Amino acid sequence: MWAIENAFFDQGFRIVGGTDEAGRGPLAGPVYAAAVILPRGIEIEGLDDSKKLSEKKREKLYDEIIQRAEAWAVASATVEEIAQIDILNSAMLAMRRAVESLGVMPEMLIVDGTVSRGFPCKTTCVPGGDGRSASVAAASILAKVSRDRYMYELAQRYPQYGFEKHKGYGTAQHTAAIREFGPCPEHRELFLRKILQKE
């Protein structure tokens, strides 16, 4: 998990960080992102792409990451921003907000995926970075846990949708609830067109 970071350290970069987002695909809720700078070579047992980990494991790693990281930050882009600038640009916005909140600027930032827009530092895109880079994996966990916690809050406000179970993704239960109750303010209207057209 350290090969990508180590390659940049060997090139002379001193501060190498990673960023990732969570929640591009769901039908509801903000898109979250995190940025993390880890001490070089630190070993965090079980660190991996957040999608490969259980919720219990992610929660445990979340606590360890924020305790041991040199710097970390979490940010989001709202449902309103997603409607205005689309989901990809909103994911980029959330990642930039996280990076700008770190308190220390990376000299090189590893961005999960194939797109990097408007970051205030040098970046490199790494597809599947959350399974290949320690700092991106750490960012993926912070982003995922933070978004899941927000969706649990939404479940309290809008219990009819079952957000605590599907976290806003388009499961059969979720789409059935949307058809029965209509969307709530936290639903992404553009994402619902096909569902609502079937009524």
Half-sphere exposure of 39 (CA within 13 A, CB side): 10
What share of the chain in percent tops pLDDT 90?
94
Burial group, residue 32, by CB count within 10 angstroms (0-12, 13-18, 19+): buried
Residue 122 has pLDDT above 90, yes or no: yes
**Sheet containing strand 16-22, strands side by side:** 71-77, 31-37, 16-22, 108-112, 123-126
Judged against a pLDDT cut of 80, whether residue 87 lies above it is answered with yes
H or E stretch including 112?
strand 108-112
Q: Are strands 108-112 and 71-77 parallel, antiparallel or unpaired?
A: unpaired
Cα 48 to Cα 5: distance, rounded to the nearest angstrom: 15
Quick one: CA torsion of 120, 122, 128, 132, rounded to 10 degrees? -120
The model's pLDDT over 24-49, given as tens digits with 9 standing for 90+, comes to 999 999 999 999 999 998 999 999 99
Q: Rounded to whole angstroms, how far apart are CA atoms 108 and 13?
A: 7
Average the pLDDT over 125-140 and give the result. Answer: 96
Q: What is the pLDDT of residues 45-72, one digit of tens each?
A: 999 999 999 999 999 999 999 999 999 9
Q: Is the pLDDT of residue 198 over 70?
A: no
Question: Hey, what domains does the chain have and what are their CATH numbers?
Answer: 3-197 (3.30.420.10)
pLDDT at 195: 83
pLDDT score at 193: 85
